[in-house]
A and B are shown apart, each in its own frame.
Chain A
Amino acid sequence: MTSMLSEEQLLLRDSARSFLEARSPVAELRRMRDAGESWSPRLWSEMAAMGWTGVVVPEEFGGLGFGCVGAGQIFEQCGHTLANSPLMASAVVGAKLVEALGSPELKSSLLPMLASGESILCPALAEGERWALEDANTTARAEADGYVLTGTKSQLAFAEAADHFLVSARIAGNGPGHGGLSLFLLNAGHPGLSVESRLKIDSFSSSQLRLDSVRVGPQARLGEPGKAWPAIREAAEAGAACSAAELLGMASEAFQRTLDYLKQREQFGRPIGSFQALQHRAALLHCELELTSSVVLQALQACEAAATSASMLANLAKARAVKTAQLAVNEAVQMHGGIGMTDEFDIGLFLKRANAAFAEFGGYHYHADRFALQRNY
């Protein structure tokens, strides 16, 4: 592995940067918030036109086939402008799950739809307030003509935009733990489904999906019965690595804006950035950003290569990205002083979006614990 991006990846990053600065700057998030819009169909279709909705989908199914490193470049730039969309849920995690578990027929019908952005898939993997995907309690009771699904999934992103849900449920009869999990593909309008959304601090919403004795045919199940866990885990790790890249972008941007402010704001007749108390904190933050950027790239590369180290590196990257972004946005507010506390100023939007993103695909404590377990303590 190398720490340098390929020419193609660099191009993708640069085009993502200029596209997002033009079409989805921070001001757009503010506008959406004030207008009460929880997602942007306009941005979605423009991202689809850029090919981003097919970023990890193989070329044979109409995607770009860029893999996780390419996806990570896009999400890092999304972090810079706080551009949030169903991209991570549908185009990365959803597409990876369909690719891993779908039948050949499903793959050739659904993957091109996902890659083109015509279809938006919402993975429904978590339950409750924690991120513990293996502990799903939603049940799938086998019947003669299929399954009956019952339970409540949570932490769904952009459920309001989705036309399909991908639900993890336990095939009845299997014990607790990750054994016995299956994935089911459901139409958003399937009878017995209900969605309840709640507004988050970042002005996006988080939804619960209630399954009230939902009857599905056997073809709704993806893959072998009860054997979905390895694919769920792998897709969630790719999600965690991409989430880490997005947080890295937010942290870098918050830091850059803070640095500019330190050079420009004067007190006691000199720029506040000349004070050592602030210089040392800025220098430390720079170190943390450099280190985190190195592990985020390693994690993306490992996920792309499906390396055995992918799991641990995704844990490492997300844990480090949360800690780094937390420091960056907290310091950003503090170093901006009073103006950082005002709604009018953008730093608060970084603070809120970052804190919402910490929990997406698992927070610090989840990933730190998994990292240690993989190192046998």
Chain B
Amino acid sequence: MDQFRKETRQWLEDNCPLSMRAPVTSDKDECWGGRKWVFASEDQRLWLQRMGERGWTAPTWPREYAGGGLSSEQAAILQQELDRIGARAPLTSMGIKMLGPALLKYATEEQKRRFLPDIVRGRIRWCQGYSEPNAGSDLAGLKTRAEDRGDHFLVNGSKVWTSYSDESDWIFCLVRTDFSAAKHQGISFILFDMQSEGVSTRPIRLISGSSPFCETHFDNVRVPRENLVGELSQGWEIAKFLLTFERQYQGSWGSGDAALGAAAADAIGRDPGGRLADGLLRAEIIAFDLDQAAFSAYSQRVSEEAGGGGENGAATSILKYYGTELNKLRYQLQMAAAGSAAVEWGEGQDGSLSRDWLRSLGNSIEGGTSEIQLNVIAKRILGLPG
């Protein structure tokens, strides 16, 4: 392991451009890749290319699908070495965070070889077709229809809250293929190109002023049959499996720096004993800080117990619930610490406190509301009756 660390450190030293070792300060600093991506800099392009070629954008995926082929211990070392030099993630990707694990588990060999390498290298950007106008918390009540036409499916319907679907290349999509079966039994998991005829998208402006989500409409979209993942009408299991990865990812927003209290004290002032001068705000920040430190310890434990596969089942609902509630509270406390400046609308689409706070309110809604997570914990973990 020492040898691996040494080699990794040297490789990163040689290959991570200096400008990629600075903190992310705006949306543009984050690289999402894909056909439509306009790189913010040559360094951003190089960093993705070098990491992608090594498979280190998806360090634990198998080599045969262009992944890094690393053990979970090696991947942890890689992450430590990236953190050590303050390197940015070369790629932010729903393909890596969500779709990949589902394909590795449920896709055919041919599908894996077809789709995974483009995810690793950041060539195809994926979006998620889950929620519908009338299927939010009741996700399995979705109505988007895919008629079986033999060699293809004909897809009609609408999705909503499809993150960045206007900038994405492909979609992983839940569709109903059997209207007579019970609602969980008639759902299929399919993949298709967003450039297909009949696909249209419309960005939705949020209370934060930005438009990360879209409405996405399908009007007689032809999807080749080979793009079906798993068995026909058995897609709900895949959908739920993928959700555990989404929830784990969203939960990670709740881990974070320990500097909130000190930053507030720097802004507001300290009493002679060194305590934040506003005692009531201090008490609220302490309560948050204790919870966040405990949440980080819990997250670390969950990932250690999961080992390399990263499958955590219902525990991901704990991560999702607690992490997103913490993230909302973090912004709320930052707003309180900032005083009257907090409500300034600010320039641009991101990076201003008021806009980030407004965006954070969606954290406990997207990916399954907090209430849905508590339902999952109550039923699947605690075994409380339906």
Contact = CB atoms under 8 A, between A and B. Distances in A.
Contact of A320 (B276, B290, B373, B379): B290
A298 B3 CA distance: 29
A269 to B, nearest CB: 12
Given A282-B382, A291-B297, A276 B321 contact: no
A263 B283 CA distance: 37
Contacts of A263: 383-385
Contact of A372 (B282, B297, B318, B378): B282
Nearest to B265: A377
Interface in A1-37: 2-4
Contact of B298 (A290, A368, A377): A290
B289 A287 contact: no
Nearest to B301: A3
Contacts of A291: 291, 294-295, 297-298, 322
Contacts, number: 118
B336 interface: no
A3 B378 contact: no
A316 B382 contact: no
A368 B287 contact: yes
B287 to A, nearest CB: 7
Contacts of B282: 372, 377
A316 B290 contact: yes
Interface in B272-317: 273-276, 282-283, 285-287, 289-291, 293-295, 297-298, 300-301, 304-305
Contacts of B24: none
Chain B interface main SS type: helix
Contact of B375 (A276, A298, A372): A276
A279 B380 CA distance: 11
A372 B275 contact: yes
B371 interface: yes
A290 B382 CA distance: 13
Interface in B359-382: 371, 373-375, 377-379, 381-382
A241 to B, nearest CB: 13
Interface stretch (B11-19, B34-42, B256-264, B347-355): B256-264
B386 interface: yes
B54 interface: no
B275 A287 contact: no
B261 to A, nearest CB: 4
The majority secondary structure among interface residues of chain A is: helix
A181 B114 CA distance: 72
Contact of B286 (A262, A282, A298, A371): A371
Contacts of B286: 368-369, 371-372
Contacts of B262: 375-377
B270 interface: yes
B270 A377 contact: yes
A273 B371 CA distance: 16
A279 B374 contact: yes
B374 A372 contact: no
Given A3-B304, A263-B384, A373-B274, A287 B318 contact: yes
B377 A286 contact: yes
B382 A283 contact: yes
Among B264, B282, B377, find the residue whose CB has the most chain A CB atoms closer than 10 A. B377
17 contacts: A3-B300, A4-B304, A4-B305, A263-B384, A271-B385, A283-B374, A286-B381, A290-B298, A291-B322, A368-B286, A368-B287, A369-B286, A372-B275, A372-B286, A375-B262, A377-B274, A377-B275
Among all A-B residue pairs, the 3 with the closest Cβ atoms: A377-B261, A279-B378, A3-B301
Given A291-B294, A294-B297, A373-B274, 19 more contacts: A259-B384, A263-B384, A276-B378, A280-B371, A280-B375, A283-B373, A283-B374, A283-B377, A283-B378, A283-B382, A287-B318, A287-B322, A291-B295, A298-B297, A320-B291, A372-B285, A375-B289, A376-B261, A376-B265
Interface of A: 2-4, 259, 262-263, 270-271, 273-274, 276, 278-280, 282-284, 286-287, 290-292, 294-295, 297-298, 316, 319-320, 323, 368-369, 371-373, 375-377
